[in-house]
């Protein structure tokens, strides 16, 4: 349903009740809001409204996809009408308690809430990760990055005499007879006798056995390009045995200055690339990390913690403003940290939910250094042994078993040893998944963005911890870690990458506004993340590893949420926001209705029967002293109602004998609180409106794709 705006008008007992935008005092663990809400009651037949303050606490569930917070199960601490007679105040209080926001639920934009939440130094600091640059290559013409996870490893293609490279993102085939390598590039083939030294040329003749590739799955796409088209322009091929980055420009860099700064952005590159004229240095953003160099060819050095101040001055409406989310100290960076800290909630059905766990041979475990935890290394699953019990974290849900093969059951708790797994381990991401509640029928799990590889460090959100871990885990070729921090980026301008592996095959397409495929991506500006197979864009993102199809909005054939919990079949695990939307608290949706008053106010009503008032009078605030105040356009405060007689429904209202102007007699702390509330509300409204304008409450781009072969 979403946040339709404020203030909202309700009807109860013949009276009109206006509820103004909540003022947040605290958001405990991002699960419980403490709020003050200004309200007004206009009884039938009465000319002037009576103003009051509601103090309440309410549980929350955040809908990350729609960027809203559902407030439900409110606990009303008090409803005060300080200027009304006691008997009338009691009546007004009961009327207010009877309307939906104070009875069961209401939605508010996440950005309006975040404006009130302030980060502490500990939250900004985050965890210790590697901010050093990976290998970074540069070209100003056609080029590709042929990256491997470790030394190139070739495996025989069943039914042929050929081999394919299983630990790269490209379709790379080798003929063992003469050692020639054949690489599928776009819809044609290039070849070289040596991977690193080349020379790479357009393939003139392909091995006959390329016509004998296995049928089905992604092999069909490869077979469709045999013999393929002749490659007219052979790209430069960069080879790396570790995750790396490739910077591409169409010709020499083309610069466009950013007003008010010494920065210029490079227009003819898909990479996030800037030049600082004051320093004569290039700045490159990848996986949330900044790097600097005097030349695009390098050498590159870490720059995340030492960015020039000009980056924070990039105008918010600039085409490159999205990078503000990766600039320490900006509002956008703090919002990204807050979003990464807000949990996703899943309610697990004990009876039905089970993980799908498989091993390559007998289960093999190795100890995680510095802990008492042993991790399974020959499975794509996150399986651990602590003491004599086995634990599995599967799609954001914890399970336990007496044996490595199961049978598995939903875990009521997880040993503290699990949460000692350090960032240097490829299993660190499971430390962001917790069991928070349990009863006879269900168990509630929650996770934060770290589970999907999006972690906080040095005042920003980055993807991955940046450590090249995984190669010494016994089976690195079959089960590489998902969170090394460096994706397999576009092999050419607007290109397509393919990653073939022994236990999986995926594909990716990347452009300036989004991408899809098998790998890892994140967008700190939107809080969107993905792993395994992925799809992301300015308006959202998701992963096919959890069987999400963003083009249809479904998970595994079932309607679901925007996170790992949505991948479960209905009835097993319920996404927290979907449970709130469809459960007994929210009820079924209703019909939208409109209204207009003789005074000129207008609005629209939603399923909770509340009209959004589109007239004047929204600058009404609940003071911490229990009184209600209004702020005029000059920044002056007066105790509501306005002495000018302005009503929130467009109808006339008589002046009341109240203090006007800047309230010289008001307590300084109350005035300071009102000024703070005003600033937070204006900031939150601007951010919410900006986000809505970008299509993030249901619009935006989305992509899909992916496949597997075994």
Mean predicted confidence (pLDDT) in 537-544: 32
Q: Which distant-in-sequence residues (6+ apart) come within 8 Å of 178 by Cβ? A: 193
pLDDT score, position 160 = 92
Other Cβ atoms less than 10 A from the Cβ of 686: the count is 14
pLDDT score, position 449 = 86
pLDDT score, position 565 = 76
Mean predicted confidence (pLDDT) in 269-274: 93
Mean predicted confidence (pLDDT) in 208-213: 91
Examine the pLDDT at 615 and tell me if it is beyond 70: no
Q: Is the dihedral of CA 584, 589, 595, 601 positive or negative?
A: positive
Q: Comparing C-alpha atoms, which of 200, 189, 286, 184 is closest to residue 239?
A: 200
Examine the pLDDT at 412 and tell me if it is beyond 90: yes
Task: Check residues 700 and 575 and name the one with the higher pLDDT.
Answer: 575
b/e sequence 576-593, b meaning 16+ C-beta within 10 Å: bbbbbbeeeebeeeeeee
Task: Check residues 478 and 78 and name the one with the higher pLDDT.
Answer: 78
706: confidence class by pLDDT, cuts 50, 70, 90: very low
Rounded to 5 degrees, φ, ψ at 458 are: 55, 35
Strongest mean pLDDT among 217-221, 455-459, 536-540? 455-459
Q: Is 268 exposed, middle or buried (0-12, 13-18, 19+ CB in 10 A)?
A: middle
Mean predicted confidence (pLDDT) in 473-490: 39
Three state DSSP letters for 373-414: CEEECCCCCEEEEECCEEEEEECCEEEEECCCCCCCEECCCC
pLDDT score, position 340 = 86
The greatest distance separating any two alpha carbons of the chain, rounded to the nearest whole angstrom, comes to: 98
Examine the pLDDT at 694 and tell me if it is beyond 70: no
Strongest mean pLDDT among 29-38, 339-348, 491-500, 637-646? 29-38
Separation in Å, CA 593 to CA 8, 596, 610: 13, 11, 9
241: confidence class by pLDDT, cuts 50, 70, 90: confident
pLDDT score, position 608 = 55
Angstrom distance (rounded) from CA 174 to CA 163: 5
Mean predicted confidence (pLDDT) in 203-224: 85
Tokens standing for residue 381: 């699953």
Examine the pLDDT at 254 and tell me if it is beyond 50: yes
Examine the pLDDT at 529 and tell me if it is beyond 60: no
Tokens standing for residue 346: 């899943």
pLDDT score, position 45 = 87
Mean predicted confidence (pLDDT) in 594-620: 52
Examine the pLDDT at 421 and tell me if it is beyond 90: yes
Angstrom distance (rounded) from CA 146 to CA 581: 46
pLDDT score, position 168 = 78
* Residue 383 · residue 392 · CB < 8 Å: yes
Angstrom distance (rounded) from CA 279 to CA 309: 12
Least confident of 53-62, 313-322, 521-530, 613-622: 521-530
Tokens standing for residue 549: 């199809």
Task: Check residues 313 and 599 and name the one with the higher pLDDT.
Answer: 313
What angle do the packed helices 331-341 and 668-693 form, to 10 degrees? 80
DSSP string computed for 510-564: EETTEEEEEEEEEETTTTEEEEEEEEEETTEEEEGGGTEETTTTEETTEE--SSG
480: confidence class by pLDDT, cuts 50, 70, 90: very low
Mean predicted confidence (pLDDT) in 151-161: 88
pLDDT score, position 158 = 86
* Residue 51 · residue 28 · CB < 8 Å: no
* Residue 396 · residue 447 · CB < 8 Å: yes
Tokens standing for residue 70: 């559902």
Mean predicted confidence (pLDDT) in 139-167: 88
378: confidence class by pLDDT, cuts 50, 70, 90: confident
Separation in Å, CA 517 to CA 402, 476, 533, 617, 681: 36, 21, 5, 49, 39
614: confidence class by pLDDT, cuts 50, 70, 90: low
Three state DSSP letters for 232-267: CCCCEEEEECCCCEEEECCCCCCEEECCCCCEEEEC
Angstrom distance (rounded) from CA 143 to CA 246: 9
292: confidence class by pLDDT, cuts 50, 70, 90: very high
Angstrom distance (rounded) from CA 365 to CA 377: 6
Task: Check residues 473 and 238 and name the one with the higher pLDDT.
Answer: 238
524: confidence class by pLDDT, cuts 50, 70, 90: very low
Mean predicted confidence (pLDDT) in 182-204: 94
Mean predicted confidence (pLDDT) in 227-253: 92
Examine the pLDDT at 537 and tell me if it is beyond 60: no
Examine the pLDDT at 699 and tell me if it is beyond 50: no
666: confidence class by pLDDT, cuts 50, 70, 90: low
575: confidence class by pLDDT, cuts 50, 70, 90: low
Mean predicted confidence (pLDDT) in 692-710: 30
b/e sequence 544-571, b meaning 16+ C-beta within 10 Å: bbbbbbbeebebeeeebbbbbbbbbebe
pLDDT 10s digits, 321-367: 989 989 999 988 998 899 889 888 888 889 889 988 888 789 999 99
b/e sequence 430-456, b meaning 16+ C-beta within 10 Å: bbbbbbeebeeebbbbbbbbbbbbbbb
Q: Is the dihedral of CA 598, 621, 23, 92 positive or negative?
A: negative
Angstrom distance (rounded) from CA 291 to CA 295: 12
The residues with which 255 forms a beta bridge, in sequence order, are 266
Q: Give me the chain's average pLDDT, please.
A: 76
pLDDT score, position 531 = 34
Angstrom distance (rounded) from CA 553 to CA 364: 38
Q: How many residues does the chain have?
A: 710
Task: Check residues 425 and 328 and name the one with the higher pLDDT.
Answer: 328
pLDDT score, position 659 = 39
Examine the pLDDT at 616 and tell me if it is beyond 60: no
Task: Check residues 595 and 50 and name the one with the higher pLDDT.
Answer: 50
Mean predicted confidence (pLDDT) in 23-29: 93
Strongest mean pLDDT among 198-207, 524-533, 604-613? 198-207
């Amino acid at each position: 349903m979403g946040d339709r705006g404020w203030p909202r008008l309700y009807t109860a007992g013949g009276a009109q009740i206006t509820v103004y935008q909540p003022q947040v005092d605290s958001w405990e663990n991002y699960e419980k809001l403490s709020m003050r809400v200004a309200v007004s009651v206009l009884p039938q037949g009465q000319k002037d409204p009576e103003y009051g303050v509601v103090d309440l606490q309410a549980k929350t569930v955040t809908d990350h996809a729609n960027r809203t917070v559902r407030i439900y199960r409110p606990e009303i601490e008090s409803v005060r009408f300080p200027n009304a007679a006691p008997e009338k105040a009691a009546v007004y209080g009961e009327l207010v308690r009877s309307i939906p926001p104070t009875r069961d639920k209401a939605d508010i934009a996440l950005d309006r809430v975040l404006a009130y939440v302030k980060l502490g130094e500990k939250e900004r600091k985050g965890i210790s990760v590697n901010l050093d640059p990976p290998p970074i290559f540069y070209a100003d013409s056609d080029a590709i990055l042929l990256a491997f996870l470790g030394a190139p490893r070739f495996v025989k293609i069943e039914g042929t005499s050929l081999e394919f490279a299983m630990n790269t993102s490209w379709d790379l085939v080798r003929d063992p007879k003469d050692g020639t390598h054949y690489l599928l590039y776009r819809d044609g083939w290039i070849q070289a006798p040596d991977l690193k030294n080349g020379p790479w040329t357009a393939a003139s003749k392909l091995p006959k056995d390329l016509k004998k590739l296995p049928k089905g799955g992604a092999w069909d796409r490869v077979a469709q390009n045999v013999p393929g088209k002749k490659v007219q322009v052979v790209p430069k091929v960069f080879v790396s045995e570790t995750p790396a980055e490739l910077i591409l420009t169409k010709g020499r860099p083309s610069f466009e200055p950013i007003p008010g700064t010494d920065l210029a952005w490079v227009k003819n590159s898909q990479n996030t690339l800037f030049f600082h004229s004051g320093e004569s240095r290039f700045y490159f953003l990848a996986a949330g990390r900044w790097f600097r160099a005097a030349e695009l060819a390098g050498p590159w050095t870490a720059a995340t913690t030492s960015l020039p101040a000009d980056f924070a001055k990039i105008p918010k409406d600039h085409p490159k403003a999205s990078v503000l989310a990766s600039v320490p100290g900006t509002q956008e960076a703090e919002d990204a940290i807050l979003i990464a800290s807000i949990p996703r909630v899943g309610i697990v059905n004990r009876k039905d939910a089970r993980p799908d766990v498989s091993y390559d041979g007998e289960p093999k475990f190795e100890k995680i250094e510095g802990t008492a935890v042993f991790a399974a290394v020959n499975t794509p699953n996150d399986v651990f042994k602590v003491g004599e019990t086995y634990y599995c974290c599967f799609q954001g849900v914890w399970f336990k078993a007496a044996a490595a093969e199961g049978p598995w059951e939903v875990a009521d708790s997880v040993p503290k040893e699990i949460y000692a797994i350090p960032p240097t381990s490829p299993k660190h991401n499971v430390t962001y998944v917790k069991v928070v509640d349990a009863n006879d029928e269900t168990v509630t799990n929650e996770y934060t963005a770290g589970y999907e590889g999006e972690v906080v460090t040095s005042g920003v959100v980055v993807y991955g911890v940046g450590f090249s871990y995984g190669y010494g885990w016994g089976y690195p070729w079959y089960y590489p870690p998902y969170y090394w921090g460096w994706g397999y980026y576009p092999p050419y301008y607007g290109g397509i990458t393919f990653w073939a592996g022994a236990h999986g095959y995926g594909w990716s397409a990347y452009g300036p506004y989004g991408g899809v495929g098998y790998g890892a991506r994140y967008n700190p500006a939107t809080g969107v993340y993905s792993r395994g197979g992925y799809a992301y864009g300015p308006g959202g993102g998701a992963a096919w590893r959890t069987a999400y199809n963003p083009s249809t909005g479904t998970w595994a054939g079932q309607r679901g949420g925007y996170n790992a919990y949505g991948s479960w079949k209905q009835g097993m695990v319920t996404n927290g926001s979907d449970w709130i939307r469809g459960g007994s608290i929210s009820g079924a949706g209703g019909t939208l209705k409109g209204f207009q008053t003789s005074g000129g106010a207008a609005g629209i009503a939603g399923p909770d029967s509340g009209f959004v008032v589109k007239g004047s009078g929204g600058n009404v605030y609940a003071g911490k002293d229990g009184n209600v105040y209004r702020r005029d356009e000059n920044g002056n405060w007066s105790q509501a109602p306005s002495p000018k007689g302005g009503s929130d429904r467009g109808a006339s209202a008589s002046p009341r004998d109240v203090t006007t102007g800047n309230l010289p007699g008001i307590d300084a702390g109350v005035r300071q609180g009102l000024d703070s509330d005003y600033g937070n509300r204006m900031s939150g409204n601007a951010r919410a409106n900006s986000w809505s304008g970008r299509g993030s409450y249901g619009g935006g781009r989305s992509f899909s794709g992916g496949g597997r072969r075994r």
